[in-house]
Structure 1
Amino acid sequence: MAGNCVPESQDLKEMGEEELWEMINDNRHRISLGVRPCILIPYLRQARVLTDLDEDEIVSCHNLTNRCMRTSYMLDLLRAQGRNGAIAFLEGLMIHYPTLYTQVTGRKPSTEPSTFSGLIKYSELTEYLIRAVTGMQKELQEARGEAGRMSARCASLESEMGQMMEQEEKSGRLQSENDRLQRHLSSLQREVAKLKDEKCDLYIRYTTAIEERSAINERLHDLNLQVYQLQTELQNAQMDTKRHPLRFVSAPESPQLQEEVRTLRSQLAKAQTLDPARQDILAQDLAEAIDSQVQLAEQLRCYREENEILQRDKQALLDQKESLSLQVQQLTVDCKMLQQKSTLIQSQIKELQTERDQAYLSREEAQATIAQILAEKDALRSQLVVMQESVFTLQVKRRSSVKQKVKDVRWQSSVSSCDGCPRPERRKLCRMDALRPETFSNSEEEDAVMNSMRSRNAEPPGPESLRRREEILYADSSTESAETDPLLDDFVLLTDGSEDRNELESPSLSNSESSGSSRKSAPPFLVRSRPKAIRVIGRVISISFLGEALLSQLTVVGGNKSGVFVHQVTEGSAAQGVGISPGAQIVEVKYEHNQRALRMVLEDSTLEEAMWALSQVTGFCHLSLRPRPDEYEALLQQLQKSETASGDSFYIRVNVSLPAGSTGTLAVTCNDILHVTNTRPSGAEDQWHACQVHPCQLLDLQSGTIPNYYRAQRLLIRTIEEINFQTKKCQKAGREVCWRKEKAVRIVSTGRQGRNPMWVSVEDKNSESTESGTPSSSKCCVTLMPYTLVTPHYPPICRPVLLLPSILGRILDKKLAGWQGFELCEAEVLMSSEHAARLQRSEILEESEQGRCYTLQSVERVMKKGTHCVLPLGLDCVRRLHRFQIFPIIIFIGQTSRSARKLRSKLQRHSQSEEQLLACSRSEEPLLDKLSCLYRSMAPDSWCDQTSLLTSLRTVIWEEQRKIVWVEPDLW
């Protein structure tokens, strides 16, 4: 060991360079394995034995492929520094690797100043050690925090595992019960098979006995026939003997005949003796067989009854299992929905708490501001009283001096009139109505001001007074000329919505010469003391100022999601002069255009709409601002971290197919859903930044730019013209317009202009109608819409199914309802009173024949079972279902003459023809574009017969059930 080589009494400072490096090189292998250069380099750089170039070479050199090579290379660089390099390296080991330091030097590490070589000052060393300890503490805290998070994650996983184990136990119990029932059923089936085998054996035995009996009967019949023949022959022989008694029979023939007779008689006797016994035996066997057969039939009937009972029990258990599985799925979906609702409620509670805190803070700030303003007013009143007293004193002195010097009759009369009138009693200044000096003549102005100052009634101004003041302010800003005093606009009107009071500085005349002075010289009491026209109404501040070229005075950020905020204010502009600062949300802007007052609400507008509205301001304007510094800072942080592109966020449905461009333009097709995240990307005025949306989840996919509303509207009109030209060309050529798989255009128009963030260009084009006169002209327009706003909806587990065209739907509804998981909606018979009540509540979807009708309750009844309700209805039921938050799956099966021929037999059974099917398809297809939700189209060549069509329909329904339902607002 190196520790044994170095004497204990010898200090490292006393050792020479060669001794130090020899000690380090002896332990070079151990140092290369145990030291990380990135830990020692900061200390070595502070000791000035390594530079930043050396650090870059050690850390990022490609030739040094592992840590041992980097450590060895670091030792080589320190070797070039001589003794200082060795001392600094050993001190770094003493700080960061105390155990290795002991192994290398044989000494215990110490942090006392005497043990260091002096390469680093004590203060720098202490600072370095503090930073090192702080870094280690941070790493320890991060490790502890990570351990806490992992433990919490582990606990949550354990709870989930417990729940899964419980579910597994329940499923295991159900599985074991199912296995037991299966075993019992198999045993019963085996017993039934045995009984069947026994029955077959009995049938065989019975058949054999019958065959034996029939054989015996045939044998008995043959024997009786032979006996009859023998008797006949005997009788004949006897008759012959009687006729010829003298006839001699030859000797040889007589014994032979006698032997045959004896043989026949013996056989006949045997037959007569054996036949009854055999018959009794056979009859007894037959009776036993019949009894056993009856018993077996009875047993078979009992077994059949038991088998039917078991089959019913099995079916009931299977139904119970399916219902339990459906309940489990429904409970899982309900649990997820409750979790989402709880998360949403918690986020809303947090937002409410934040808004409450902001409201309290704003109230305190407003109270402090009001208190400060009142204090300033009191101080100004006291100064005004002092100035008025000095003015009165100077007037008295001047009049007395003029009386002594001038003996003119006019002056005497004026002096006598002044001396004769009583001196006005100076009272404490009180609040009064504001007066405009420019509306009076010079003498009238003095009287009006004096009378205003002598007013004793401190009452708030009426609505008429406020209206006159606003008209005067508008007139001053629009008709400003050389004859008007530029300082007259410095009158300050402060209105507090909570206290409902107004106050204006009381003007007073400086001297009698002010009445004869020119209008261009402003009186001293009209000098501006505060920003003008600041109106505080709750949390919204209304600021009035000259907004010429407003967008050059301030810049804005935000959008419809976060709100539009003031981002920067130009120095020296009118906006900065009235106190507009970054962080305020622009709620509303009012301005005058062509002698008409216009008002635009920007509280939930997009960035594009807000910039367009602010660019229209060309003169005096009113800005309604709401201070929201926290939301503004949060938006800036999100923009800096690139978490969001702007404050805009809304979803649209595309009504025209747009190809991809060379500058990152997103290729979209008709009926695509896009998420617009920025309406002014990089300052572009004709583009939006948008992302494609996942069909089953609210996730952003491929992103790019799309044309804005006005440009897309022009492209929509151009596409309609091209399609119309192609259609006319095909008709002239005599060709049939084929069924298109993908629609290029969806015609959507509107007759109501609401709060739509895509109405900027439309408002710009209809600005003349806004100026023309009637307010209704700005609220109504009929226009084609390339984009429409949509909102996501998450329907229940099973949505109703509507098949179109309606003629084909009537044929397929019953076939589809026969599949598992589907049920046909049945019509109901209602009383007249109940029918009228449901009709008033719009719960009747469609009237049927024979006084029956399809109701909303019948659809909900099927949906509660967890099955798809097949609707034998038309398109009119879709809007009624949407009112009750029920969103059916609409499937349109495209038809051509070729596909209609495949259904000829089915159509004839329902008294329909191919021409009627094609006509129904052509009439109902344009109505699909009027729906406020998406639908699914099936190409005519995607199926070959009714079976494949039903299979494709099930696949399409399963795909559509997983998707998000996007619904448009009512546009008319």
Structure 2
Amino acid sequence: MKTQELDQKPDQADEMVRRGLPFLQLRAAPELLKISQFGASGFAERCNLLRFALQRDAGAADAHAVSCVSFVSLPRRARRLCALVPMETTEGSNGDPARDEDEALWENVESNRYILSRYINPNKLTPYLRQCKVIDEQDEDEVLHSYMLQSRVNRAGRLLDILHTKGQRGYVVFLESLEFYYPDLYKLVTGKEPTRRFSTIVVEEGHEGLTQFLMNEVIKLQQQAKAKDVQRVDILGKHRTLEDEHRKLRLANQELLAFQERYNKMKEERNHINDELSKVKDDNYNLAMRLAQLSEEKNMAVMRSRDLQLEIDQLKHNLNKVEEECKMERKQSLKLKNDIENRPRKEQIIELERENEVLKMKVQELQSIIQPGKQGLPDSEKAIVDILEHDRMEALEDRQDLVNKLYNLREEVRQTEELRDK
């Protein structure tokens, strides 16, 4: 009665299984629950393998609980099949020579499981395995279309697990499929060179089955050859397109090279012009410095011209003064000339000479009288006399200097006028 209720409520049954398996460490239980998704064909072998895993995890003491749990959690049809399969314990499996031999055969496969799962494509192997009746339709559907097997590596691993449950026959057919589709993997697993034998097909289907299989393979190869031809045509079209693009790119590259050469020439011209510009800037700077220097010299020349103009005015004033003196000297010269012209006669001269001699005698007498007096003059008066004499000499020297300076100023004025005219 309880079993019928669980059949009507599979979700509740699964919940009871989860609650009733605290000792399984939730490792074998997910595999047990997934059995409900499998088909009935080939189900008994999976049940044996799953029970063996559960007994291994739970222990021999809980074998009855495992049997009950696996039985309760399965659908009705699966339970019927499961009831037909004898329950195996760990002790029985360990003592079975056939199972030990199968495990020894599969040891080579399991030791290379990573490489096999990585390189095997289940889509290639499943048709051959189905033809040899090692797997059924539901096994193939599970391996190829299960939502829980998303990647090709997972599907290949699941296929190996299913073949593992088939025992020696699964091992032999799997090696033959490797020999046919993956010779390198066959050599890796067995250590032998592939011989391309199809004994299983001959045994199961006869020579006609082998012929049909080979014909199917030939058809597949022809289809693949057609696909390769189409692919080759596409590749040739792409090749032509790429050649056209390559030609265009080569032309574009030549244009770019021409532009590059033109750019390099323009760059060289620009560098040359920049050098000339730098030289022109330096020349302009030097000219500006020279102009500033000339402007400063001009200002100094203007200042000097002003000073010379003042000196010229001063010299003109001195010249006027000297001219007035010259006029006075000329007047005196004229007066002297007149005096010479109006000099007295010879008798008057003789008389004047006599008077002069008399006067000289008187002067000598006076000098003889004054000489002792001069020696008796005080030093202060002597100093005054020396100073007056020195002033007279200096005045004569200053006058000579003024005459020389006037001459020099006239020369400078002449040179200044020449510069001004230039």
TM-score by length of 1: 0.24
Which of 406, 411, 415 does residue 272 from structure 1 map onto? Answer: 406
* Residues 69 and 284 of structure 1: CA distance in aligned 2, closer, same or farther (over 3 Å): farther
Match of 1:129 in 2: 217
Instruction: State the alpha-carbon separation in 2 of the partners of residues 60 and 260 from structure 1.
Output: 141
Answer whether contact 2:311 2:409 (CA < 8 A) is retained.
no
Cα offsets for 1:484-535 (capped at 9, x unmatched): xxxxxxxxxxxxxxxxxxxxxxxxxxxxxxxxxxxxxxxxxxxxxxxxxxxx
Cα offsets for 1:577-617 (capped at 9, x unmatched): xxxxxxxxxxxxxxxxxxxxxxxxxxxxxxxxxxxxxxxxx
- Structure with bigger gyration radius: 2
* Residues 55 and 208 of structure 1: CA distance in aligned 2, closer, same or farther (over 3 Å): same
Cα offsets for 1:162-214 (capped at 9, x unmatched): 11012112322332343344334334433443443344344334434433443
Cα offsets for 1:83-133 (capped at 9, x unmatched): 332232122111101122233234433345547563443233223322343
Instruction: State the alpha-carbon separation in 1 of the partners of residues 412 and 320 from structure 2.
Output: 27
**CA RMSD after TM alignment:** 4.0
Answer whether contact 2:106 2:164 (CA < 8 A) is retained.
yes
2:233 aligned with 1:145: yes
2:125 aligned with 1:40: yes
2:162 aligned with 1:77: yes
Shift of 1:143: 4.6
2:289 aligned with 1:204: no
Answer whether contact 1:230 1:264 (CA < 8 A) is retained.
no
Which of 182, 185, 188 does residue 97 from structure 1 map onto? Answer: 182
Cα offsets for 1:706-750 (capped at 9, x unmatched): xxxxxxxxxxxxxxxxxxxxxxxxxxxxxxxxxxxxxxxxxxxxx
Secondary structure class of the residue paired with 1:25 = helix
Match of 1:154 in 2: 242
Answer whether contact 1:58 1:74 (CA < 8 A) is retained.
yes
Answer whether contact 1:38 1:59 (CA < 8 A) is retained.
yes
Match of 1:923 in 2: none
Describe how 1:185-334 pairs up with structure 2 within 5 A: 185-227=273-315, 229=317, 254=388, 258=392, 261-262=395-396, 264-275=398-409, 278=412
Which AA in structure 1 matches 2:271? R
Secondary structure class of the residue paired with 1:118 = helix
More strand per residue: 1
Match of 2:113 in 1: 28
2:50 aligned with 1:50: no
Describe how 1:699-714 pairs up with structure 2 within 5 A: none
Describe how 1:885-904 pairs up with structure 2 within 5 A: none
Answer whether contact 1:58 1:73 (CA < 8 A) is retained.
yes
Match of 2:37 in 1: none
* Residues 30 and 142 of structure 1: CA distance in aligned 2, closer, same or farther (over 3 Å): same
Answer whether contact 1:213 1:282 (CA < 8 A) is retained.
no
Shift of 1:158: 1.6
Shift of 1:37: 1.6
Shift of 1:156: 1.7
Answer whether contact 2:102 2:167 (CA < 8 A) is retained.
yes
Shift of 1:39: 1.8
Describe how 1:851-870 pairs up with structure 2 within 5 A: none
Shift of 1:282: 6.3
Instruction: State the alpha-carbon separation in 1 of the partners of residues 404 and 254 from structure 2.
Output: 87
Shift of 1:221: 3.2
Match of 2:193 in 1: 108
Cα offsets for 1:309-335 (capped at 9, x unmatched): xxxxxxxxxxxxxxxxxxxxxxxxxxx
Which AA in structure 1 matches 2:308? L
Shift of 1:159: 0.4
Answer whether contact 1:209 1:286 (CA < 8 A) is retained.
no
Match of 1:167 in 2: 255
Gaps of 5+ in 1: 1-14, 243-249, 291-972
Cα offsets for 1:202-233 (capped at 9, x unmatched): 43344344334433333333334444555677
Question: Is 65-74 or 37-46 further displaced after alignment?
Answer: 65-74
Shift of 1:71: 1.6
Which AA in structure 2 matches 1:154? L
Answer whether contact 1:101 1:107 (CA < 8 A) is retained.
yes
More helix per residue: 2
Shift of 1:78: 1.7
Answer whether contact 2:143 2:158 (CA < 8 A) is retained.
yes
Which AA in structure 2 matches 1:158? H
Answer whether contact 2:173 2:200 (CA < 8 A) is retained.
no
Shift of 1:261: 3.3
Cα offsets for 1:445-493 (capped at 9, x unmatched): xxxxxxxxxxxxxxxxxxxxxxxxxxxxxxxxxxxxxxxxxxxxxxxxx
Cα offsets for 1:343-363 (capped at 9, x unmatched): xxxxxxxxxxxxxxxxxxxxx
Which AA in structure 1 matches 2:124? I
Instruction: State the alpha-carbon separation in 1 of the partners of residues 385 and 394 from structure 2.
Output: 15
Describe how 1:592-603 pairs up with structure 2 within 5 A: none
Instruction: State the alpha-carbon separation in 2 of the partners of residues 203 and 192 from structure 1.
Output: 16
Which AA in structure 1 matches 2:239? S
Describe how 1:946-965 pairs up with structure 2 within 5 A: none
Which AA in structure 1 matches 2:402? L
Secondary structure class of the residue paired with 2:216 = helix
Instruction: State the alpha-carbon separation in 2 of the partners of residues 201 and 284 from structure 1.
Output: 26
Shift of 1:280: 7.1
Aligned residues between the structures: 265
* Residues 253 and 231 of structure 1: CA distance in aligned 2, closer, same or farther (over 3 Å): farther
Instruction: State the alpha-carbon separation in 1 of the partners of residues 416 and 200 from structure 2.
Output: 129
Which AA in structure 1 matches 2:157? S
Describe how 1:670-819 pairs up with structure 2 within 5 A: none
Cα offsets for 1:393-425 (capped at 9, x unmatched): xxxxxxxxxxxxxxxxxxxxxxxxxxxxxxxxx
* Residues 33 and 63 of structure 1: CA distance in aligned 2, closer, same or farther (over 3 Å): same
Instruction: State the alpha-carbon separation in 1 of the partners of residues 107 and 289 from structure 2.
Output: 107
Instruction: State the alpha-carbon separation in 1 of the partners of residues 304 and 287 from structure 2.
Output: 26
What fraction of aligned residue pairs are identical, expressed as a percent? 19
Secondary structure class of the residue paired with 2:203 = coil
Shift of 1:33: 3.0
Answer whether contact 2:108 2:189 (CA < 8 A) is retained.
yes
Secondary structure class of the residue paired with 2:159 = helix
Answer whether contact 2:117 2:153 (CA < 8 A) is retained.
yes
Cα offsets for 1:872-900 (capped at 9, x unmatched): xxxxxxxxxxxxxxxxxxxxxxxxxxxxx
Which AA in structure 2 matches 1:141? D
Answer whether contact 2:129 2:135 (CA < 8 A) is retained.
yes
Match of 1:457 in 2: none
Which AA in structure 1 matches 2:244? S
Instruction: State the alpha-carbon separation in 1 of the partners of residues 101 and 219 from structure 2.
Output: 31
Shift of 1:151: 2.6
- Larger relative contact order (Cα-Cα within 8 Å, sequence gap ≥ 6): 2
Match of 2:264 in 1: 176
Answer whether contact 1:88 1:119 (CA < 8 A) is retained.
no
